Amino acid sequence: MRGFVALGALLVVAGCGGKQAAVPAGAIALVGGTPIPRADFQAQMNQARRAFRVQGKSFPAPGTPEYDGLRDTAVRLLVERKQMSLAARRLGILPRVLAQVEPALRRFKQTTLGGSEARYRERLRQTGMTDEDVREAITDQLLASALKRANAWPPKKLLPVSYAKGFAPGDDG
C-alpha cells in the first residue's frame, strides 16, 4: 500500500508548457485542450488531508509554503495522469489498461492481504486511502508500464498545458 502512496510523489511532470488557452470555469488546467476538473484536484487534496489525519498531523493552511507544495504536487500528478491517459487513448491501449485494474487489485489483495476484504478495508482505514484512490494508483502504474512498453513514455513532446489562475506549479495566486 505504501507503494500506492509513494506513487503520487513519483509521478511528477518535468515541464508543462505555458498559459496558452483559456481554462474553463470548473477546471484547474487544460492538457492538450482536455480539462482537468476542479473535482479531481479536490479529490487529490482530500486524499492528502486523510493521509495527514491518520498520521496525526495538521493539514497545512492555504497560503502557507507547505500547502503550496502539496497543491503543486497534486496539480503535477493530475497533469501527468491526464498526459498518460491521452497518450494511451491515442495509441488505442487505454481500454486494455483499464480492463487490467480489477485483476491487479485482486492480485494485490491476494498476495498482500491473503485475499481478505476485511484486511483490505482495514489497510485503507490505516492509510487514509479510499478504494478509489487505490484503483487510481493501480491505473497510473498500469498506464505508465504500458506506455513505456510501447516506447511512448516519457513522450518526446508533452501536450501543451494551460493552468487556471492559482494552479500553475509555483504560482502563489
Task: Say how many CA atoms lie within 13 Å of 98 toward its Cβ.
Answer: 8
Residue 14 in this model has a pLDDT that exceeds 90: no
Domain presence at residue 173: no
Residue 173: its pLDDT value, please? 55
**Structural domain boundaries enclosing 38:** 2-6+16-163
Residue 154: its pLDDT value, please? 87
Residue 11 in this model has a pLDDT that exceeds 70: no
Domain presence at residue 38: yes
- Give the CATH number, domain containing residue 92: 1.10.4030
d(CA 166, CA 168): 6
Of the two residues 158 and 102, the one the predictor is more confident about is 102
Q: What is the CA radius of gyration of the chain?
A: 17
Domain presence at residue 116: yes
Contact 31, 79 (CB under 8 A): yes
Total tally of structural domains belonging to the chain:
1
CA-to-CA separations, 100 to 18, 38, 55, 74, 112, in angstroms, rounded = 34, 27, 31, 25, 18
Kind and range of the H or E run holding 36: strand 34-37
Domain presence at residue 169: no
Q: What is the pTM of this model?
A: 0.83
Domain presence at residue 123: yes
Residue 104 in this model has a pLDDT that exceeds 90: yes
Judged by DSSP in three states, 80 sits in helix
Average pLDDT of the residues of the chain: 88
Least-confidence region, from 11-15, 122-126, 145-149: 11-15
Domain presence at residue 170: no
Domain presence at residue 135: yes
Domain presence at residue 171: no
Judged by DSSP in three states, 49 sits in helix
d(CA 8, CA 140): 9
Mean pLDDT, rounded, for 113-139: 95
